[in-house]
Each structure stands twice: as structure tokens, then as C-alpha cells.
A and B are shown apart, each in its own frame.
Chain A
Amino acid sequence: AQSVAQPEDQVNVAEGNPLTVKCTYSVSGNPYLFWYVQYPNRGLQFLLKYITGDNLVKGSYGFEAEFNKSQTSFHLKKPSALVSDSALYFCAVRDPGNTPLVFGKGTRLSVIA
């Protein structure tokens, strides 16, 4: 069965500094990996995904993530954090095929001015 771990409940970073939100996964085959962001009382917004190809994936709002098969990780990164990046971030994984996403517990990012 698929599973996702987000080891940090909360990440604090100063505005302008690089940020990393960690994610590790477990799937039986080749994973489809996703990052979503959620603002208060809102649904999830898609940021980026890895399906195949280049391990470094670039997404919305300057975010990127690197797929590392040997470490089974898919950490979310941004070179320079903005206060407006403060939100709840979810990593998700699924198997190929018509299967639903399995979510991590979420990591709350707080960017301090």
C-alpha cells in the first residue's frame, strides 16, 4: 500500500531565505508524486508533480521538487521564501492507473518577515 510521510508538522523560515518541506513515500511500483498547497478554509491548489523524466520538477509560484528514488523522497523547495507562501503543504502519492491520491499529514509553513 502507498504511504506518505511528512516528518515536520511546522517549518519556519525567514522571508528571502530558501525553504524546504520534506516528504518521503512508499509505493509498490513507480510513484506518481504531487505537492499541493492549502490556504485557510480553501481547497487544495496543485503545485507540481513528478510522473517520469527529469528528477527536478518545477511548478507554480517558483516552487520545485526533486525526486530521489534511492532515498524515496520528494522534497519541496523554493530558493527565496515569501510571506505569502505561508500555508499548509501536502505531499501526495499514488500508483499509476486509476487510483486515488494518498496524502501526507501536511506541513504548516510559516514565513516570517
Chain B
Amino acid sequence: GAVVSQHPSRVICKSGTSVKIECRSLDFQATTMFWYRQFPKQSLMLMATSNEGSKATYEQGVEKDKFLINHASLTLSTLTVTSAHPEDSSFYICSARGGTDTQYFGPGTRLTVL
């Protein structure tokens, strides 16, 4: 299957700082990328959908000014958690879809805000 990478895999930061997570599709062009959040022992919650070159569409309840998403190219999307707080600690997973019907997922980023 197609490969999606995510970096970093784990990050610890202080409260009030910003953290950027990168998501790359390595062997296909991702026309659409998705960002999910997963709490322990729970399912994936869709945060936003982004199409290359367009503004992201955020799900209800997700603060777009706090979770900045950029999808500047067909192989790269970034999620920036601004002014992070402990309640933002979570497992963030990106997903990408190209010309097929299948969404492929990155390995996830564990964010811990102290």
C-alpha cells in the first residue's frame, strides 16, 4: 500500500508553545489530507479535511485558530498546534488520499504538553 510518513513521532513541549507536525505522502500525490485526533482507547475523531492549495475544512468544535493546517503541496500537509495546553495532549494521526478510494494513514504523533 501507499506510504504516509509523519514527523515527529513523539513531542513533549511546554504549555504555551507551538508545535508543528508534518505529514507526507511518500509515493503518491495526496489531493486530500485529513487530520485526526485519538484519545486513549477511543476511536479517531476527524479534526479537519484539507485539499491541496485550499483552506482546510474544520469539523464542528475544532478551533481553526488553534489547529492551523497547511496543505501547500500534493505531498505535504502540516498541523500546527498553537499555544498548546495540557488538554491538547493526544495522539494525532494524518491521513492522505490520492487518486484511489483508499485513505492511507501516517504512524501518528504523540503530543504531550506539560
Please give the residue numbers on chain A whose beta carbons come within 8 Å of chain B beta carbons, in ascending order.
32, 34, 36, 41-46, 49, 51, 90, 98, 100-106
Given A46-B1, A49-B101, the answer on whether A41 and B108 have CB atoms closer than 8 Å is yes
Chain B, 1-48, CB within 8 A of any chain A CB: 1, 4, 6, 32, 34, 42-44, 46
Chain B residues positioned under 8 Å from A34 (CB to CB): 102-103
Q: Pick the contact of B105 from A41, A45, A51, A105 — CB < 8 Å?
A: A45
Chosen A-B contacts, 8 in total, with CB atoms closer than 8 Å, are: A43-B4, A43-B6, A43-B108, A90-B43, A100-B34, A102-B46, A104-B43, A106-B42
B93 within 8 A of A: yes
A98 vs B49: C-alpha distance in the bound complex, in angstroms? Answer: 10
CB <8 Å contact, A32 and B101: yes
Please give the residue numbers on chain B whose beta carbons come within 8 Å of chain A beta carbons, in ascending order.
1, 4, 6, 32, 34, 42-44, 46, 49, 51, 91, 93, 95, 101-108, 110
Nearest-Cβ distance from residue A14 to partner chain B, whole angstroms: 24
Interface of B: prevailing SS: strand
CB <8 Å contact, A105 and B42: yes
Chain A residues positioned under 8 Å from B108 (CB to CB): 41-43
Given A34-B102, A46-B102, A105-B42, the answer on whether A100 and B49 have CB atoms closer than 8 Å is yes
Chain A residues positioned under 8 Å from B105 (CB to CB): 36, 43-46
A18 vs B111: C-alpha distance in the bound complex, in angstroms? Answer: 37
Kindly list the 10 A-B residue pairs having the minimum CB-CB distance in the complex, ordered from nearest: A44-B105, A43-B105, A43-B107, A105-B43, A43-B108, A103-B43, A103-B44, A43-B106, A43-B93, A106-B43
A43 vs B4: C-alpha distance in the bound complex, in angstroms? Answer: 10
Nearest-Cβ distance from residue B99 to partner chain A, whole angstroms: 12
Nearest-Cβ distance from residue B19 to partner chain A, whole angstroms: 18
Closest to B108 in A: A43
Closest to A99 in B: B49
Specify which of A32, A43, A51, A90 lies most central, judged by the most chain B CB atoms within 10 Å of its CB: A43
Q: Taking A36-B105, A43-B93 as given, write out 19 further A-B residue pairs in contact, using a Cβ cutoff of 8 Å, ordered by the A residue number.
A: A32-B101, A34-B102, A34-B103, A42-B107, A43-B4, A44-B44, A45-B105, A46-B1, A46-B102, A46-B104, A49-B102, A90-B43, A100-B103, A101-B34, A101-B95, A103-B44, A104-B43, A105-B43, A106-B43
